[in-house]
């Protein structure tokens, strides 16, 4: 049976870099990409790809797209295609490097074992692992109470039947800027409120798309308890929660903080031995890593010295 010394779960920013670095260090790697649970980082990458393509097209081309049905079905289809293209590109790089890439929704069964639910299989697969890294990222998710005030997160917005004529976006990350730009390109009147420095490329794309940028969040036209006018839809991207609720972490004795993010040691290890966290899903770590590269170096050092990564220990994929 093939040895799989490192199993990586998720599609956040460190996934590709960690996988390639592990292979270069001589560790066999298996990477599990979710089929539907995409991290905010991956969505941001897909939106950037999509906007660059749309802005290169003429306004007449966009009007032609809109005339074929337009509205929310079109926007959903464009984003799905951009996400698929982003994943295909990453899979090609990983496969070329010798990484085993699987698609499905993974969850822990017990320490050292996962189940993988896939649309391609009737029954879930069972996977044993020795070292595992959770790289599931974060998602923008609001309390249910905000839905009653016409305030949405990105998931709720894309589930709507009709494209809003007016959209107010709160937040300055790549997703909020990208969604603002996309809706503006297809006819919504969009205003974005953000504080601090903005991602330069996405901010420029949003401005080119016609988004009206407001520098101070304090001027945003709502606060707690205020009802948003029916003609205006508000997208609030300021609250990010760890994409962990589907992982069945309690089965391995791991709990998250109030925002669904992982508590990790100064080696980025969770409460379960040889299960690590990396990227935005890590909420606290004693070392306070300042970069993805530093996280990757710390994890690979632990994998290299782990007893469980020695030759002779194997993993299997069974039905």
- Bridge-based pairing state of the strands 166-170 and 233-236: parallel
pLDDT in tens, 243-281: 999 999 999 999 999 999 999 988 899 999 999 999 999
DSSP 8-state assignment for residue 62: H
How many other C-beta atoms lie within 10 A of the C-beta of residue 122?
A: 7
Identify the H or E element spanning 157. Answer: helix 154-158
The number of residues in the chain equals 319
What is the structure's pLDDT at 312? 46
What is the structure's pLDDT at 305? 74
**Is 51 within the bounds of a domain?**
no
Whether 152 and 301 map to the same domain: the answer is no
Whether 199 and 255 map to the same domain: the answer is no
Tell me which range, 54-58, 90-94, 195-199, 300-304, is most confidently predicted by mean pLDDT: 90-94
Cβ atoms of residues 274 and 166 within 8 Å: no
Whether 155 and 304 map to the same domain: the answer is no
Domain with 18 in it: 6-44+75-139+241-318
Q: How far apart are CA 199 and CA 185, in angstroms?
A: 19
Whether 27 and 90 map to the same domain: the answer is yes
Whether 166 and 34 map to the same domain: the answer is no
Whether 173 and 292 map to the same domain: the answer is no
Reference 80, options 114, 46, 56; nearest CA is: 46
**Is 57 within the bounds of a domain?**
no
pLDDT band at 7 (very low <50, low <70, confident <90, very high): very high
Q: How far apart are CA 26 and CA 115, in angstroms?
A: 26
**Is 198 within the bounds of a domain?**
yes
Number of domains present in the structure of the chain: 2
Burial category of 292 from C-beta neighbours within 10 Å (exposed 0-12, middle 13-18, buried 19 and up): middle
Token representation of residue 293: 């590269």
Whether 107 and 33 map to the same domain: the answer is yes
Whether 171 and 312 map to the same domain: the answer is no
**Is 69 within the bounds of a domain?**
no
Whether 121 and 264 map to the same domain: the answer is yes
Cβ atoms of residues 136 and 33 within 8 Å: no
**Is 70 within the bounds of a domain?**
no
Q: Can you say whether the dihedral through the CA atoms of 239, 242, 246, 248 is positive or negative? A: negative
**CATH (domain of 120):** 3.50.50.60
Question: Is the pLDDT score of 122 beyond 90?
Answer: no
Token representation of residue 7: 């199993």
Domain closes at, from 238, 263, 287? 238
Domain closes at, from 222, 238, 254? 238
Cβ atoms of residues 63 and 54 within 8 Å: no
**Is 66 within the bounds of a domain?**
no
pLDDT in tens, 33-78: 999 899 999 999 999 999 999 998 766 666 556 555 578 999 999 9
**Is 68 within the bounds of a domain?**
no
Domain closes at, from 199, 215, 238? 238
Whether 172 and 255 map to the same domain: the answer is no
Cβ atoms of residues 237 and 154 within 8 Å: yes
pTM, whole model, 2 decimals? Answer: 0.87
Tokens 């304090």 locate to 218
Whether 246 and 311 map to the same domain: the answer is yes
Token representation of residue 86: 């982003």
Whether 162 and 88 map to the same domain: the answer is no
pLDDT band at 288 (very low <50, low <70, confident <90, very high): confident
């Amino acid at each position: 049976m093939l040895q799989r010394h490192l199993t990586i779960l998720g599609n956040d920013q460190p996934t590709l870099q960690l996988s390639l670095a592990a292979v270069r260090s001589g560790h066999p790697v298996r990477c599990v990409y979710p089929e539907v649970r995409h991290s905010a980082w991956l969505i941001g990458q897909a939106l950037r790809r999509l906007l660059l393509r749309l802005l290169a097209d003429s306004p007449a081309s966009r009007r032609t797209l809109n005339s074929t049905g337009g509205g929310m079905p079109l926007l959903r289809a464009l984003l799905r295609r951009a996400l698929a293209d982003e994943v295909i590109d990453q899979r090609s790089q990983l496969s070329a490097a010798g990484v085993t890439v699987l698609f499905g929704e993974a969850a822990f069964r017990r320490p050292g074992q996962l189940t993988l639910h896939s649309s391609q299989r009737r029954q879930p697969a069972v996977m044993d692992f020795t070292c595992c890294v959770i790289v599931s990222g974060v998602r923008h998710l609001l309390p249910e109470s905000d839905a009653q005030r016409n305030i949405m997160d990105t998931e709720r917005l894309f589930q709507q039947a009709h494209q809003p004529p007016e959209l107010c976006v709160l937040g300055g990350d790549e997703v909020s800027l990208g969604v603002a730009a996309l809706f503006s390109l297809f006819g919504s009147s969009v205003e974005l409120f953000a504080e601090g420095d903005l991602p330069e490329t996405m901010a420029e794309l949003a401005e080119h798309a016609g988004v009206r940028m407001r520098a101070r969040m304090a001027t945003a036209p709502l606060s707690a308890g205020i009802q948003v006018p029916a003609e205006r839809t508000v997208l609030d991207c300021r609250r990010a929660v760890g994409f962990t609720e589907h992982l069945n972490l309690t089965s391995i004795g791991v709990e998250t903080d109030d925002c669904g993010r992982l508590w990790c040691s100064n080696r980025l290890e969770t409460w379960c031995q040889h299960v690590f966290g990396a990227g935005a899903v890590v909420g606290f770590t004693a070392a306070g890593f300042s970069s993805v590269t530093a996280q990757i170096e710390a994890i690979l050092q632990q994998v290299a010295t782990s007893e469980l990564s020695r030759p002779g220990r194997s993993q299997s994929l069974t039905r």
